[in-house]
Amino acid sequence: MLILATFVISLDRAIAAVASTSAPVTAKANNNQALDYTQVGDKIRRSLQLNVSSVAESPVQGLLQVMTEKGLFYVSQDGSYFMQGRIFNLDEGMRNETEAALSGARLSGLETFKDNVIEYKADKEKYVVNVFTDITCGYCRKLHNQMAEYNDLGITVRYLAFPRAGLGGQSYHDMVSVWCAANPQKAMDDAKAGSQVAAKNCDSKVAEQYAFGQSMGVNGTPNIVMPDGSVIPGYQPPEQLEEALKAIM
């Protein structure tokens, strides 16, 4: 394995820095003794104020992979060290193990939103892509203006909401209104064309989709999730997207 690390920190030092506001921490395990997964997750929550959704084995012995609302991280099995980086498998042609883990998590997460997307379905569907979008994003509008071309190539597009300004901006409220409209597809068409969005409210899942996007590393739009869970971060012309889809199918 090859690990490319962005940063490594000692969780015990991080805990000490916030000790005045944190609950007492479970005693550190001996060097040869691993904390259980619950203890590791709790320690990260307390020390770094990250919401931990899962803790699991990683491909590297001695490291656990931790999924949080800010992405995938790694932690030593004794809960002492925390790292952001990528793991590549030298024995498997430099396979990106970090991306493989994220791809699986993306597909699982997308399944939970299958009834909350705004879909533009191809008549002769060959491929399905999920696209994190913002109604104010220039390249999102460019992609949307070519929707007929994507559909003609057999590409179904399913939109998830990712208001780039966050949950406090006007685009968030407008996207809620789009998702809650009587005809969400028409509301999306109008919003992408620059028309004013009629205010609506409902259980839209826009906030949940935004949080999911953040946890999967989305930091801009459009962000295209491919059928295998891989990501193309940015606009792709219809023909180029078709070629990328053919390459993985």
Residue among 140, 141, 158, 174 flagged as catalytic: 140
Active site residue 137: yes
Q: Token pair for residue 34?
A: 């691993």
Catalytic residue among 42, 134, 141, 174: 134
CB 95 within 8 A of CB 89: yes
Q: Is 202 known to be catalytic?
A: no
Answer for the pair 153, 239: CB distance below 8 angstroms, yes or no.
yes
134 catalytically annotated: yes
Catalytic residue among 42, 46, 78, 137: 137
The closest alpha carbon to 35, from 62, 8, 58, 7, belongs to 62
Name 83's Cβ contacts closer than 8 Å, sequence gap at least 6: 3, 5, 6, 7, 8, 9, 63, 73, 74, 75
Instruction: State the burial class of residue 12 (Cβ atoms within 10 Å of its Cβ: 0-12, 13-18, 19+).
Output: middle
User: Structure tokens of 114?
Assistant: 């299958």
91 CB-side CA count, 13 A: 3
Among 106, 141, 158, 164, the one annotated catalytic: 164
Q: What does the longest C-alpha to C-alpha distance in the chain come to?
A: 62
Nearest Cα to 157, choosing from 226, 203, 103, 108?
226
Q: Is the dihedral of CA 82, 83, 84, 86 positive or negative?
A: negative
CA–CA separation, 27 and 10 (whole Å): 15
- Which are the catalytic amino acids? 134, 137, 140, 164
